[in-house]
């Protein structure tokens, strides 16, 4: 079955450093991947997405990398700020015509001042 | 613009009771879905809908019913609550393109925390 997993449950970084959050997926037919950020007590918020025909996509201070060979994607956050502290989820759209978005278990990012 | 609104925010039920979690969105999104979030489990898809009158099952549909009579509303019904349904429930919506494809950019509500005793 499909599964989306994150390598580390918790990541602690120093303010100003770059953060890298990793995610592995198992469904080679998946064609669309999304990163979400969830702050305490709130619903997840969309950060950035990437389609399977791309290797890299950049946003504001964030970059998503997709390696289809090893079924791995990562979220890079540049110059991490205290406001980046949250739980980060990768999600996999297992079929663009199914509407099924499958989430990983999440990585907690802690930013130390 | 309210976005996605869920009610109630908190609810305590006894085993066997029934209740409905309400979800409304004002963005004219065709796609709506319900997730549950448990500690260490991420978010799991319960049911989803790609438009009024159309619903389908997600990963964990048992014990839950949904209906979609309007574009704006997507209620989630628990017919006979069980302690295993203690969780935080999130409703989410998104735009569906011309090919009726969910874009993946889901807009989430603030969540409804349910405890079943």
Cis bond before residue B8 (omega within 30° of 0): yes
Strand partners, A8: none
Please report the pLDDT score of residue A2 as a whole number: 39
Q: Digits of tens for pLDDT over chain A (113 positions)?
A: 334 655 578 999 999 999 999 999 888 888 889 999 999 989 999 999 998 899 999 999 999 999 999 999 999 999 999 999 999 999 988 765 556 788 888 899 999 98
Q: Which parts of B4-111 are beta strand (E)? A: 4-7, 10-13, 19-25, 31-38, 42-51, 54-57, 64-66, 76-78, 87-94, 107-108
Are B69 and B52 in contact by the 8 Å Cβ rule? The answer is yes
Beta bridge partner(s), residue A103:
A91
The CA-to-CA distance between both ends of chain A, in Å, stands at 41
Tokens 């085993």 locate to: B15
**Cβ contact (<8 Å) for B42 and A34?**
no
Q: How far is B3 from chain A (nearest CA, A)?
A: 12
Residue A44 is nearest to which of B45, B99, B108, comparing CB atoms? B108
Contacts of B35 in chain A (CB under 8 A): 103
Structure tokens at B104: 């993946």
If you search the block for the tokens 């199914």, which residue do you land on?
A98
Contact of B5 with chain A, judged by CB distance below 8 Å, is answered with no
Tokens for B1, please give them: 């613009």
**Among partner residues A46, A98, A105, which is closest to B41 by beta-carbon distance?**
A105
User: Cα distance from A113 to chain B (closest Cα, Å)?
Assistant: 26
Residue with tokens 């039920």: B13
Q: How far apart are CA A71 and CA A65, in angstroms?
A: 11
Are B111 and A43 within 8 A, CB to CB? yes
Cα(A69)–Cα(A101) distance, integer angstroms:
21
CB contact (8 A) between residue B105 and residue A46: yes
B38 touches chain A (CB under 8 A): no
B33 touches chain A (CB under 8 A): yes
3-state SS, residue A107: strand
The pLDDT value recorded for residue A1 is 33
β pairing state of B112-116 and B10-13? parallel
Residue A83 DSSP SS3: helix
CA of B33, closest CA in chain A: separation in Å?
A: 9
Q: Give the residue ranges of chain B where pLDDT is below 70.
A: 1, 97-104
10 Å CB burial of residue A2 (0-12, 13-18, 19+) is: middle
Within 8 A by CB and 6+ apart from A83, the residues are none
Output the pLDDT for position B103: 63
A101–B105 CB contact, under 8 Å: no
Q: What residues of chain B lie within 8 A of the CB of A103, using their CB?
A: 35, 42-44
Radius of gyration of chain B (CA): 14
**Quick one: pLDDT at residue A27?**
84
Query: In B, residues 70-99, which contact A (CB 8 Å cutoff)?
Result: 90, 92, 99
Residue of B nearest to A96 (CA): B101
């Amino acid at each position: 079955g499909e599964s989306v997993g994150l390598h580390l449950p918790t990541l602690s970084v120093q303010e100003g450093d770059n953060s890298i959050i990793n995610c592995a997926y198992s469904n080679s037919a998946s064609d669309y991947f999304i990163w979400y950020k969830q702050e305490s007590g709130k619903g997840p918020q969309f950060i950035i997405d990437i389609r399977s025909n791309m290797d890299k996509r950049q946003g504001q201070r964030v970059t998503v990398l997709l390696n289809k060979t090893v079924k791995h994607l990562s979220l890079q956050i540049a110059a991490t700020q205290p406001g980046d502290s949250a739980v980060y989820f990768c999600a996999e759209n297992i079929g663009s015509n199914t509407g099924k978005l499958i989430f990983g278990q999440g990585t907690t990012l802690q930013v130390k001042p | 613009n309210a976005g996605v609104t869920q009610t109630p925010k908190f609810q305590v039920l006894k085993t066997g009771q029934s209740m409905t979690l309400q979800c409304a969105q004002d963005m004219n999104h065709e796609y709506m879905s319900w997730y549950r979030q448990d500690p260490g489990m991420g978010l799991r898809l319960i049911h989803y809908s790609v438009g009024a009158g159309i619903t389908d099952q997600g990963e964990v549909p048992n014990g839950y019913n949904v209906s979609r009579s309007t574009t704006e509303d997507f209620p989630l019904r628990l017919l006979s609550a069980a302690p295993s349904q203690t969780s935080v429930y999130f409703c989410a919506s998104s735009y569906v393109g011309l090919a009726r494809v969910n874009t993946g950019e889901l807009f989430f509500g603030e969540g409804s925390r349910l405890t079943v005793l």
